[in-house]
Amino acid sequence: MEIAGSGAIVTGGASGLGLETARTLAAAGAAVTIVDLPGSPGAERAAEFGGAFAPADVTDADQVREAVAQAASRAPLRIAVNCAGIAPPAKVLDRDGNPTGLDLFAKVLQINLLGSYHVIAHAAAEMAKTEPTASGDRGVIVNTASVAAFDGQIGQPAYSASKGGVHAMTLPIARELARHAIRVCTIAPGIMETPMLLGLPQAAQDSLGQQVPYPARLGRPAEYAALVSSIVENGYLNGETIRLDGAIRMAPR
């Protein structure tokens, strides 16, 4: 499917993988709307490439619906990319051997899994209304999982569960939306140059990068964004989760 002329919505678009994806899609000719929290620098970032900003919390279905409508008002919505997410660590048992509270676990699931589902559902409803392109496509949805969905480390039960859920729902949703000519894929990044990791000392970044078989470095947001573009443009990619990780398999800790 052609990126140029398409409306695109990118959640978590004010920073990190989402911001680079928004910039890349805009450079390819898409009318991009960044979705991020009201207190984020989304408006400033969107202005840098002629995009728009729709402040929204992805856990709020009404706010997501409004953001999707805003994106669709700029151009036919054909691309939706889910990048919003959090990754706070928490073990099952605390240092005293007691179960940790469920609040954080629930919050991670709400943002990473339910938030992704809200965007999928509302974006798909809008895409289904559009006229198909010359090639018969109506839209493409790209979700973000993680290698933690497959190689979760100690302290990542909530994050792994949420990202495992994103992976698991990719195929059934792709099968359902096929009748609307909407494709659904998921990217599972490895250790990427996100704002959180870039805040670590250089020695720590280098150590993490050396765990990657090849290339032995952190993944770059531009590489994630390039894969999003490839998924959009390759009409036969559907229902798949693609690891973007330099062949890393995470150790237990």
CATH number at residue 104: 3.40.50.720
User: Quick check: is 122 in a domain?
Assistant: yes
Is residue 95 one of the residues assigned to a domain? Answer: yes
Q: Residue 170 domain-assigned?
A: yes
Assigned domain for 69 exists: yes
Could you tell me the two tokens for 114?
């339910």
Q: Which of 117, 159, 214, 236 is catalytic?
A: 159
Closest CA to 183 of 248, 152, 138: 138
Determine, yes or no, domain membership for 144: yes
204 lies in some domain = no
- Note whether residue 174 is domain-resident: yes
Can you tell me the mean pLDDT for 51-65? 98
To the query of whether residue 224 is one of the catalytic residues in this protein, the response is no
**Residue 52 pLDDT:** 98
Q: How far apart are CA 178 and CA 95, in angstroms?
A: 48
Burial class (CB in 10 A: 0-12, 13-18, 19+), 130: buried
**The pLDDT of residue 243 is above 80:** yes
- C-beta of residue 154 within 8 angstroms of C-beta of residue 222: no
Mean pLDDT of 165-180: 98
At residue 194, the pLDDT reads 86
Is 192 within 8 Å of 232 (Cβ atoms)? no
Which of 123, 104, 250 minimizes the C-alpha distance to 182? 123
Classify residue 54: in a domain, yes or no: yes
- Angle, vertex CA 33, rays to CA 30 and CA 38, nearest 5: 165
Judged on CB neighbours under 10 Å (0-12, 13-18, 19+), 77 is buried
Strand order in the sheet with 52-55: 52-55, 31-36, 7-11, 77-82, 139-144, 182-189, 241-244
pLDDT digits (tens, 9 = 90+) for 107-157: 999 999 999 999 999 999 999 999 999 999 999 999 999 999 999 999 999
Threshold 0.85, pTM exceeds: yes
Cα gap 29→51, rounded to integer Å: 11
Question: What pLDDT does residue 199 have?
Answer: 74
Q: Which range marks the domain in which residue 84 is found?
A: 7-189+218-244
Count of domains observed in the chain: 1
Confidence tier at 197 by pLDDT (50, 70, 90): confident
